[in-house]
Amino acid sequence: MSRVFLIWAVAHSVKEVQSEDSVLLFVIAWTITEIIRYSLYTFSLLNHLPYIIKGARYTLFIVLYPMGVTGELLTIYAALTFVPQAGLYSISLPNKYNFSFDCHAFLILIMISYIPLFPQLHFHMIHQRRKVLSHTEEHKKFE
């Protein structure tokens, strides 16, 4: 969901952030991650998974996750300046639904949500790395 949100709700909707270096940062991180992920899936389906692909999947995230998150957060931060001026996706009272939504505040909440969520996802991948790569090393010992 974060990818759809960042591409559509932030980068597409706030034209001023499209030229930010932070967009390039998260796009590069996402691209490398997906190439590795889908290579792993493809080779796994073929029952021929090279160790370099498995190693890349469970090692490069150590750099790519923080790189992507940094790009995402910097892009959202850059958008914060332009969202209130344009009133982007904001609904103010009074209206017939008696409902209001402040996109600026929502973006701030999204940024704050990275504090508990990013470490949880990163440590999950570290645990997966330990589990998958240590199993591979043990398996190699017996061959």
Instruction: Provide the residue ranges of all domains of the chain, joining segments of one domain with +.
Output: 2-142
**The pLDDT value given to residue 2:** 84
Given a contact cutoff of 8 angstroms between Cβ atoms, the answer to whether 5 and 72 are in contact is: no
pLDDT digits (tens, 9 = 90+) for 69-109: 999 999 999 999 999 999 999 999 999 999 999 999 999 99
Nearest to 82 by CA among 63, 52, 57, 107: 107
pLDDT band at 140 (very low <50, low <70, confident <90, very high): low
User: Which residues are marked as active site?
Assistant: 65, 72
Q: 21-62 pLDDT, tens per residue?
A: 999 999 999 999 999 999 999 999 999 999 999 999 999 999
Residue 139 scores a pLDDT above 60: no
Tens digits of residue pLDDT in 2-18 = 899 999 999 999 999 99
Burial state string for 78-110 with b = 16 or more CB within 10 A and e = fewer than 16: bbbeebeeeebeeeeeeeeeeeeebbbeebeeb
136 confidence band (pLDDT: 50, 70, 90): low
Convert the pLDDT of each residue in 113-124 to its tens digit. Answer: 999 999 999 999
Contact between 61 and 125 (Cβ < 8 Å): yes
Is pLDDT of 138 > 70?
Answer: no
User: Residue 111: which pLDDT band, with cuts at 50, 70 and 90?
Assistant: very high
Write down the pLDDT at residue 1.
Answer: 84
